Structure 1
Amino acid sequence: MTANSIPAHRVETAVAGADILGETPLWCDRSRKLWWIDIDGRLHQSFDPATGAHHASSYDGQFLGSQALTADGSHLLAQDLRLSRRSSDGVPPGHFCEVENGPDNRLNDGRVDARGRLWIGTMDNQLHRPNGALYRVTGDGQVTRIFGDVIVTNGVAFAPDNRTLYFTDTRQYRTWAFDFDLDHGVIGNRRLFADYSASGERPDGACVDVDGGLWTAFFSGGRIARYRPDGQIDTVIPLPVTNPTCLCFGGDDLKTLYVTTARKFLDPQRLSIEPEAGHLLAIHGVAQGLPEHRFSISGIVDRSSTHARMRS
């Protein structure tokens, strides 16, 4: 099957930023804002498409690895190897739990499942050692190691029917699919979904649409692509940047695809011809997404919509 290609002119700049390593965009249906981070800049940012307002808050630590929405309206932030809870602008985040300690690692990509549990992984700061692992974190702060031998955790996503978990290791150049047991919070039947080990292409962050398509950003690849559930690519969108990092659907109708990007690893000459590097990009009408699940802290349940989550 030949993949569709979306013209580059349909890609717009939502926020003309300068993210060193923009990542983990999430649409919040309560604030009606797009939230994302700059990992190396340690920034937690928001964008209001109704007003165009862009706000950024800076945090301590070496890295701000990822984020999650929570049932009580706060944000869960991955700071180095710990998870912190940010309740509001201007208030220092409070410690939630330590996920890992010891190796030269940091937290990276993660996603909340439909029972309010966070699945989040670590990565090697040197980008070549399999020091990382995937973890499951529950609302009472319990951390469970799921598997190891990970170089760079990315692309954590759940199929719409909650029966499949996707996981990418960017520096092993592969994406896997697992059978997912939502009720018990376990995975099994690991199988290869996409393999770029021969070409060295780097699949990065991912999200799913209502039809079960897996959208993936290719770091250093200048494009995003949609996989059908059978693993075949049916849509490719070239981007005006070398380093797209992650993506999500947002807007009130969840039909705007937001893409975070990075200036990291680009030399001054490349940056001079790639002014959109580090911007938050938007693509309208290519598909429709799903609301993000919210992390359930200490039994708090999100009952704000028909997508309410139960504490496991």
Structure 2
Amino acid sequence: MTELGLRPLLPTLFQLAECPVYDALAGRLLFCDILKGDIHAVELATGAHRSWSFPSLVASFGLTEGGKFVVALKHSVVLFDPENGESRLLAEVGADKPTARLNDGKVGPDGAFWVGSINEAPDKAPIGALYRIDASGKVETKVEGIKASNGLAWTADGRTMFLSDTRGVWIDRWNFDPATGAMSGRTRIAEPDDAGGRPDGGATDMDGFYWSAGISAAKLNRYAPDGKLVASFAVPAAAPTMPAFGGPDGRSLFVTSLREGRSAEQLAAYPLSGSVFEGRAPVAGVPAFRFKDR
């Protein structure tokens, strides 16, 4: 048992579990299996588990005000109705960069869907970007020059945004306008190394601190708003990919992880790699924002 009490939510070992999102209205955790192109939902009270499959990889997704999912596929964003399985194209995003694909994404406090991209070419050139997509399908490019966009998170008041580049390697902070999505005052707050944990997915707690999955170090790192590392928690997986908060009091902590590409030595040391974990955090987290689709 880890300090956070992390234990597998399901017995399944996924190749690339990502994007945990707690749906407070339904009392369930959702997450995606990127490579299989699936979104999963687990009811926390009953353990009931269901999933939906998509025609391409599922990079990330968010919840909408109307009960749908806003889903980032390889080069597009769709609105998906989990009740009838129907999808509607919202926007084509990043198709002009064939070696890049969409990656980490979340709904922001402005009610728009924010999603970044990652360059999968061998040279890993910084051609990735961060995009904002609103309910009309309008796409805005907000940040460029990224190798692997990750770690999107906002503070509870919606006035601070965090973003990381897993291959950059950096964590940056912006002032954010929750009414318009305008960003200003970009500040580099941390440049983690492999031993400390390169920054993958992120989340924020109600104290304004930033939690980052240290994908290279089997750690979950908590940073102060100024970038000071204040806590580092062990995760029972070689490569944790993203944390998320939830539960009735906001203190349930969920962490997804990666199994694909791990060495035999890593899997021997961390046999639960690929699990989706549930534990308890010392502080409550910021609830998921919802996409304004109505």
Q: Can you list the C-alpha shifts for 1:196-231, whole angstroms capped at 9, x where unaligned?
A: 268684110000111111111011210101112222
**What is the aligned length?**
292
Partner of 2:51: 56
Amino acid at match of 1:186: A
Query: What are the within-5 Å matches in structure 2 for residues 285-300 of structure 1?
Result: 285-297=281-293, 300=294
Q: Which residue of 143, 156, 160 corresponds with 2:139?
A: 143
Determine which of 209, 214, 227 is the counterpart of 1:213.
209
Q: Does the CA contact (< 8 Å) of 2:70 and 2:113 recur in 1?
A: no
**SS of corresponding position for 2:292:** coil
Contact persistence 2:60–2:106 (CA under 8 A)? no
- Name 2:240's counterpart in structure 1: 244
Normalising by structure 1, report the TM-score.
Answer: 0.88
Distance in 1 (CA, whole Å) between partners of 2:287 and 2:210 is 15
- 1:213, 1:226 within 8 Å by CA — same for their partners in 2? yes
Tell me, in whole angstroms, the C-alpha distance in 1 between the residues paired with 2:164 and 2:282.
23
Give the conservation status (yes or no) of the 8 Å contact 1:174–1:197: no
Q: Is the contact made by 1:158 and 1:166 (CA closer than 8 Å) also made in structure 2?
A: yes
Consecutive aligned runs of 4 or more in structure 1 exceeding 3 Å deviation: 6-9, 197-201
Structure 1 counterpart of 2:101, one-letter code: R
Q: SS of the counterpart of 1:141?
A: coil
Q: Of 223, 226, 236, which aligns to 1:227?
A: 223
Moved more, 100-109 or 168-177: 100-109
Distance 1:9 1:27 in 2: 18
Q: Residue deviations 1:218-263, cap 9 Å, x none?
A: 1121010111222222221101111000010111221111000110
Q: CA deviation at 1:84?
A: 1.2
Cα deviations across residues 266-290 of structure 1 (Å, max 9, x unaligned)?
Answer: 1345334422111111111422112
Q: Does 1:40 align with 2:39?
A: no
Preserved contact between residue 173 and residue 200 of structure 1 (Cα < 8 Å): no
Distance 1:91 1:289, change over 3 A: same
CA RMSD of superposed structures (Å): 1.9
Letter in 2 for 1:278: G
Q: What amino acid does structure 2 have at the position aligned with 1:53?
A: A
Cα distance in 1, alignment partners of residues 281 and 171 from structure 2: 26
8 A contact 2:159–2:176 mirrored in 1: yes
Q: Spell out, residue by residue over 1:283-306, the C-alpha distance to the aligned partner (whole angstroms, 9 max, x if none).
A: 114221122110112xx1xxxxxx
Distance 1:266 1:70, change over 3 A: same
Query: CA 1:123–1:53 in 2, change beyond 3 Å: closer, same or farther?
Result: same
Q: 1:271 aligns with which of 264, 267, 270?
A: 267
Is the Cα–Cα contact under 8 Å of residues 117 and 129 in structure 2 kept in the other structure? yes
Provide the residue aligned with 1:172 in structure 2: 168
Q: 8 Å contact 1:8–1:240 — kept in the other structure?
A: no
Tell me which residue corresponds to 2:70: 76
Name the aligned partner's letter for residue 81 of structure 1. H
Checking the alignment, whether the CA contact within 8 Å between 1:172 and 1:197 is kept in structure 2 is: no
Is 2:72–2:105's contact at 8 Å kept on the other side of the alignment? no
2:25 counterpart of 1:30:
yes
- Structure 1 stretch displaced more, 204-213 or 260-269: 260-269
What is the aligned partner in structure 2 of residue 303 from structure 1? Answer: none
Q: Distance in 2 between matches of 1:17 and 1:261?
A: 12
Secondary structure at the counterpart of residue 271 of structure 1: helix
| SS at structure 1 position matched to 2:172 | strand
Give me the identity figure in percent. 29
| Alpha-carbon separation, structure 2, partners of 1:70 and 1:199 | 37
- Paired position in structure 1 for 2:93: 99
Task: After superposition, give the CA deviation of every residue in 1:134-163 in whole Å (9 maximum; x if it has no partner).
Answer: 111111110011121111110011122222
Which of 49, 56, 61 aligns to 1:67? It is: 61
1:105 deviation in Å?
1.1
Query: Structure 1: which 5+ residue stretches go unaligned?
Result: 1-5, 301-312
Matched, 1:16 2:11: yes
How far residue 167 of structure 1 moved from its aligned partner, in angstroms, is 0.6
Counterpart of 2:103 in structure 1 is 108
Counterpart of 2:191, as a letter, is D
Measure, in 1, the Cα distance between the counterparts of 2:158 and 2:164.
18
Cα offsets for 1:13-56 (capped at 9, x unmatched): 11122211111100001111000001112110011111112222
Give secondary structure in 1 for the equivalent of 2:167. helix
Structure 2: gaps of 5 or more residues? none
Distance 1:227 1:9, change over 3 A: closer
Query: Residue 153 of structure 1 corresponds to which residue in structure 2?
Result: 149
